[in-house]
Amino acid sequence: KLTTRKIRSFKAEKTKTSLQVLTCYDFQTAQMLNETQLDMILVGDSLGNVVLGYDTTVEVSLEEMAIFGAAVKRGAPNKFVIVDMPFGSYSTFNKAIENATKIYQQTKAEALKLEGAFPHQLEIITRLTQSGIPVMGHIGLTPQSVHQQGGYYTHGKTDADKERLLKEAKDLEAAGCFSLVLECVTEEIANLITKEISIPTIGIGAGNGTDGQVLVINDLLKMGPGKYPNFCKPIANFYDLKLELVSKYIQDKKIPQGIDNADLHH
Ligand code: KIV
Ligand code: NA
């Protein structure tokens, strides 16, 4: 099992080529991931989209994150598990410390992830890390701020945006984060940040130069009928496979009683 110490030293010691992270939301998938060489599991608030059917992650509650986070940890005792703090749970300092403590204890996760690097968020992250709760940072496209950011798009295209992202990354490193998610930023700024900070960067839609990659497992296995993001190349199509197999099962059960199954095939 990885530790924050090993994750931090990963960059300096080059013990691995890349840190592999996948999201997970349920007990049995966690049991499967527990048997793999995966480095870290993220119980992302993307569960709002892919498990609960919400429009955005803004709708996800602390209670929901606690339920799914605990389930994943029960299934993957040997993995380093990170749980997302959901929207609204860390909007003020006191609330953030209280909610982070609660979800950290309830899920038994190894770390929490918070979006953003505004001054009040840096203050919260500093307090959490100094209190012994490891924090993974998350900048670039931060889905909890979708309406404030004005949609889902690639960040870091202008000089001002690049400068801001680099400063945010350095601020989060200084606040004590053990690693940093870069979501939908240009490969150029992702590579620059990766070079400029000592903690591992974990990219999603951020090119190939980051220290690690994170993907939503439902996208990777194509669990849903809809589109998947263009940066994720699915390795399977579980939606179609399940649809086909379950449809066939139902069809077989619908064969009228009294007729031998075998007869229908001849
Ligand atoms: O919720 C999530 O799945 C995430 C990853 C995309 C980084 O935050
Ligand atoms: Na998230």
- Nearest-CA residue for ligand 1 atom 2 is 44
| pLDDT score of 15 | 63
| pLDDT score of 229 | 86
C-alpha 44 to ligand 1 mean position (Å): 5
pLDDT in tens, the chain (266 residues): 899 999 998 888 876 679 999 999 999 999 999 999 999 999 999 999 999 999 999 999 999 999 999 999 999 999 999 999 999 999 999 999 999 999 999 999 999 999 999 999 999 999 999 999 999 999 999 999 999 999 999 999 999 999 999 999 999 999 999 999 999 999 999 999 999 999 999 999 999 999 999 999 999 999 999 888 888 999 999 999 999 999 999 999 887 766 565 555 55
Contact, 179 vs 200, CB < 8 A? yes
C-alpha 263 to ligand 1 mean position (Å): 52
- Give me the architecture of the 4-237 domain, per CATH: Alpha-Beta Barrel (3.20)
Query: Is 63 assigned a catalytic role?
Result: no
Handedness of CA 176, 190, 3, 110 (dihedral sign): positive
- Nearest-CA residue for ligand 1 atom 1 is 44
Of 219, 152, 165, give the one whose Cα is nearest residue 192: 165
Q: DSSP labels for the chain?
A: ---HHHHHHHHHHT-SS-EEEEE--SHHHHHHHHTS--SEEEE-TTHHHHTS--SSGGG--HHHHHHHHHHHHHH-TTSEEEEEPPTTTTSSHHHHHHHHHHHHHHH--SEEE-----HHHHHHHHHHHHTT--EEEEEES-GGGHHHHTSS--B--SHHHHHHHHHHHHHHHHHT-SEEEEESB-HHHHHHHHHH-SSPEEEESS-S-SSEEEE-HHHHTT-SSS---TT---S--HHHHHHHHHHHHHHHHTSPTTS-HHHHT-
| pLDDT score of 258 | 63
| pLDDT score of 17 | 76
| Residues framing ligand 1 (Cβ under 6 A) | 23, 42, 44-46, 84, 181, 183, 204, 214, 216
Q: Please identify every residue whose CB atom is under 5 Å from ligand 2, which is an ion.
A: 44-45, 84
Residue 43 pairs with which residues in a beta bridge?
83
Count the alpha carbons within 13 Å of 110 in the hemisphere toward its beta carbon. 22
Domain ranges, ordered by start, for the chain = 4-237
| pLDDT score of 12 | 80
Contact, 200 vs 9, CB < 8 A? no
Instruction: Read off φ and ψ for residue 75, nearest 5 degrees.
Output: -80, -25
| pLDDT score of 261 | 59
